[in-house]
Amino acid sequence: MTTQRTQEVRERLLAAAAELIAERGWAGVSTRVLAERAGVGPGLVHYHFSSLRALLNEAALHAVTAVVQEGADRLAGATAREGLDLLLGALDAYTGGDPVSVLFTETYLAAGRDEELRRALTRLLADFRVLLTDWLRATGVPDPDATARVLAAAMDGLMLHRPLDPSLTAEAAVPVLRRLLTGAVEEY
């Protein structure tokens, strides 16, 4: 299959793009550095993708979706205790300076300037929020829907603030966050 090889090049370009967005910022990714990182000629970028913008959108959305999916899968059948460990784990895995955190923020920002990306991100976030809400409800948290929204936002906010506040560790934040889940976690 020739399609096999084509797919592999596409994926290498997408992976390189995700790396470079985090390193250099959305607007700092050029066709040439992208091609070099992916190990292909500069012309290939516009052979496999209609535009650099489209490539960046697809790369960011693909990477962000993968991370969210993994989190969602783990959360799916988790108990209250397991869910909290999951949160805590996420908090010190994504410190704000790591590529994944930066890519998230870059993507949020880019979504503000690209309608199509914004729509896709909105849908992704909504799907995840449904899962989070279900878990909160099952755990016995009072207002699961609003709590899920705020909790998701707070997690991203913590990643945004972490590089600017070295004392903002996961251990410091989790006891406070637990107050958001009042009533459900006193046994923890």
Partner DNA sequence: GATCGCCTTGGGCGAGTGCCCAAAATCGAG
Partner DNA sequence: CTCGATTTTGGGCACTCGCCCAAGGCGATC
What's the rounded Cα separation, in Å, for the pair 25 and 37? 15
Residues between 91 and 110 with contacts to a second copy, criterion CB under 8 A: 96-97, 102, 105-106, 108-109
Task: Report the partner that residue 143 touches, choosing among DNA, a second copy, none (CB closer than 5 to 8 A by kind).
Answer: a second copy
What is the nearest approach in angstroms of DNA to the Cβ of residue 85? 42
Q: Quick one: tokens of 105? A: 């923020």
Task: Report the partner that residue 12 touches, choosing among DNA, a second copy, none (CB closer than 5 to 8 A by kind).
Answer: none
How many alpha carbons lie under 13 Å from residue 162 in its C-beta half-sphere?
A: 23
Do residues 22 and 110 make contact, with C-beta atoms less than 8 angstroms apart? Answer: no
What's the rounded Cα separation, in Å, for the pair 26 and 167? 29
Task: Report the partner that residue 115 touches, choosing among a second copy, DNA, none (CB closer than 5 to 8 A by kind).
Answer: none
Rg (CA), the chain: 19
Near DNA by CB under 7 A, which window of 41-49, 74-82, 156-164, 168-176? 41-49
Do residues 106 and 151 make contact, with C-beta atoms less than 8 angstroms apart? Answer: no
With CB under 7 A as the contact rule, the residue among 15, 23, 37, 44 that binds DNA is 44
**Total residues interacting with a second copy, rule: CB under 8 A:** 48
What is the nearest approach in angstroms of a second copy to the Cβ of residue 9? 27
Contact mark string toward a second copy, 3..42, x via CB under 8 A:
----------------------xxxx--------------
| DSSP output for 27-51 | GG--HHHHHHHHTS-GGGHHHHSS-
